[in-house]
Amino acid sequence: MYTPPLSRRLTVAAIGGGILTTLTTLSAGAAEPAADLAAAVSAAGEAAAGAQSAANFVWICVAAFLVFFMQAGFAMVEAGFTRAKNVCNIIMKNLLDFSVGSLAFFVLGFGIMFGSDIGGFIGTDQFLLAGTDPGTADGLWNYAFWLFQCVFAATAATIVSGAMAERTKFTAYLIYSAFICLFIYPVSGHWIWGGGWLSSLSTPMIDFAGSTVVHSAGGWLALAGALLLGPREGKYTADGTSKAIPGHNILAGALGVFILWFGWFGFNPGSTTAANSSIGLIAVTTNLAAATGVVAAMITAWIRFGKPDVTMSLNGALAGLVAITAGCANVSPGSAVAIGGIAGIVVVISVEFIDKVLKIDDPVGAISVHGVCGALGTFCVGIFADKDFGGVSGLLDGGGIALLTSQIIGIAAVFAWSFVLGLILFSAIKATVGLRVSRIEELRGLDIDEHGNEAYYGFQIYTTE
């Protein structure tokens, strides 16, 4: 027989006692029983509202902590998928993009993204969290909301580091991480989440947890950076043939993917910013898309390369997670399976295309996972959105092309903004402090020349590759 926990039993007993007291009072003919009952109901309503508010605070903070833990996942994926001689550099980049990004987002980014709107383009207040009153519930909520949005901003900056790994100057990385969180990411984020023009279309664009706001923005910035930076030494032969440069620790990379998968349960369900009943559905769609992404990527790689490739399968999980992020609250579990499956296939094809056709060196597949699959997932909302889940119908649910059109406009706008601003930013860095380390520094490894450390002291092996 099921026995409720003590806390629940006490609550039920208290409620029962309150009802009994009220009924006893009424039956005894107490003065103004209706007024007493109304007061009791009002007090109960206030208590319920207070409990809901507290639950909302707890949930958004726990979700923010989970998303912060994704920084560890990104660090391990990037370090594992690259060479041992650059691990210290990668750790420092992931440590500093969150630290520098947090300060930049506090000073300017949050206000640009969520401040009072001007022309649907940009926010204009709340810089340094000015005007946030810690003596009010709204003020305290703004602090919690800032933290949740801050970890998202840092994620966008972290994505860039993977595509530019093993040959970027550390000073250049600090500069572009700050500027991404200060201006580039917040502006396009304002368009969708801050009351800007994409959220004001006749059929508003839907990007529930950030397939485009966070992932595609970071992916397109990564594309601009990798394009201007050029490939790693030895990546392409004289005739343009791509040479694989295997990662040094696939175990670390795999652990990083599992950490990211775990953190995504804060990323997507946390985007409710409230402790409500939709959290369960969002967690289900998130998990199903990731799982299907793994299977689809594995099968695609098996067909393409003759073996079930580990790194492609791991990236399949991330592709599924990125793709479902836009529509996790608006599609059915069955549609989540379809979206994850499509993303798992696309990520394998995209990685090959970017590497072998475009000749852009992306050591961890960040452009494909985040840029391409982020755009894909945002597009899929226009196809698979179901009014029974999120209240909005996509093409397959009889909604016509209105939502799909808005999704395409949003994808194109964020691509244009992020890629063009990325080209300008990286070109400016390249012309001033420099974007790339010297050939000798790259061959020796960034750990030694950039940081004076070794990640594996006594075990480092230097090569000319």
Mean pLDDT of 293-315: 98
Per-residue pLDDT, 22: 46
Find the Cα–Cα–Cα–Cα dihedral 248, 252, 253, 256, rounded to 10°: -160
Q: Is 59 contained in some domain? A: no
| Whether residue 3 has pLDDT greater than 80 | no
Q: pLDDT of 417-435, one tens digit each?
A: 999 999 999 999 999 999 9
Per-residue pLDDT, 36: 78
Q: Kindly report the number of other CB atoms within 10 A of residue 45's CB atom.
A: 10
Q: Is 43 contained in some domain? A: no
Mean pLDDT of 431-451: 95
Q: Which residue has the higher pLDDT, 22 or 399?
A: 399
Q: Is 25 contained in some domain? A: no
Q: Is 429 contained in some domain? A: yes
Per-residue pLDDT, 463: 56
Per-residue pLDDT, 6: 31
Mean pLDDT of 390-403: 97
Q: What is the CATH number of the domain that holds 103?
A: 1.10.3430.10
Q: pLDDT of 251-275, one tens digit each?
A: 999 999 999 999 999 999 999 999 9
Tokens matching residue 227: 């394009």
| Whether residue 362 has pLDDT greater than 80 | yes
Mean pLDDT of 299-324: 98
Those residues whose C-beta lies under 8 Å from the C-beta of residue 455, and which sit 6 or more positions away, are 79, 84, 87, 88, 91, 447
Per-residue pLDDT, 10: 33
Tokens matching residue 19: 């009802």
Average pLDDT, the chain: 92
Half-sphere exposure of 371 toward its Cβ, with a 13 Å CA cutoff?
30
Q: Is 49 contained in some domain? A: no
Q: What amino acid occupies position 316?
A: G
Domain count, the chain: 1
Single out the residue of 201, 190, 203, 110 nearest to residue 150, CA to CA.
110
Contact status, residue 199 vs residue 193, Cβ threshold 8 Å:
yes
Per-residue pLDDT, 78: 98
Per-residue pLDDT, 35: 77
Q: Find tokens 């001033």 and name the residue.
A: 432
Per-residue pLDDT, 460: 55
Strand partners, 65: none
Lowest average pLDDT, out of 42-51, 92-101, 199-208, 326-335, goes to: 42-51
Give the integer Cα–Cα distance in Å for 92 and 83: 15
Tokens matching residue 399: 């909604």
3-state SS string over the chain? CCCCCHHHHHHHHHHHHHHHHHHHHHHCCCCCHHHHHHHHHHHHHHHHHHHHHHHHHHHHHHHHHHHHHHHHHHHHHHHHCCCHHHHHHHHHHHHHHHHHHHHHHHHHHHHHHHCCEECCCEECCCHHHCCCCCCCHHHHHHHHHHHHHHHHHHHHHHHHHHHCCCCECHHHHHHHHHHHHHHHHHHHHHHHHCCCHHHHCCCCCCCCCCHHHHHHHHHHHHHHHHHHHCCCCCCECCCCCECCCCCCCHHHHHHHHHHHHHHHHHHCHHHHCCCCCHHHHHHHHHHHHHHHHHHHHHHHHHHHHCCCCHHHHHHHHHHHHHHHCCCCCCCCHHHHHHHHHHHHHHHHHHHHHHHHHCCCCCCCCHHHHHHHHHHHHHHHHHHHCCHHHHCCCCHHHCCCCHHHHHHHHHHHHHHHHHHHHHHHHHHHHHHCCCCECCHHHHHHCHHHHHHCCCCCCCCCCCCCC
Single out the residue of 374, 371, 434 nearest to residue 228, CA to CA.
434
Per-residue pLDDT, 12: 37
Give the integer Cα–Cα distance in Å for 81 and 248: 6
Mean pLDDT of 110-138: 97
With a pLDDT cut of 70, the percent of the chain lying above it is: 92
| Whether residue 15 has pLDDT greater than 50 | no
Single out the residue of 127, 125, 143 nearest to residue 135, CA to CA.
143
Contact status, residue 335 vs residue 387, Cβ threshold 8 Å:
no
Lowest average pLDDT, out of 185-189, 222-226, 242-246, 457-461, goes to: 457-461
Strand partners, 436: 168
| Whether residue 18 has pLDDT greater than 80 | no
| Whether residue 45 has pLDDT greater than 70 | yes
| Structure confidence at residue 290 as a pLDDT band (50, 70, 90) | very high
Per-residue pLDDT, 47: 80
The dihedral built from the CA positions of residue 343, 344, 346 and 351, taken in this order, carries a sign that is: positive
Mean pLDDT of 213-229: 98
Q: Kindly report the number of other CB atoms within 10 A of residue 42's CB atom.
A: 10
Q: Is 456 contained in some domain? A: no
Per-residue pLDDT, 39: 79
Per-residue pLDDT, 4: 37
Q: Is 157 contained in some domain? A: yes
Q: Is 403 contained in some domain? A: yes
Q: pLDDT of 329-351, one tens digit each?
A: 999 999 999 999 999 999 999 99
Per-residue pLDDT, 48: 80
Q: Which residue has the higher pLDDT, 278 or 39?
A: 278
| Whether residue 465 has pLDDT greater than 70 | no
- The domain in which residue 328 lies consists of 66-451
Mutual orientation of helices 333-352 and 373-384 as an angle, nearest 10°? Answer: 150
Per-residue pLDDT, 112: 98
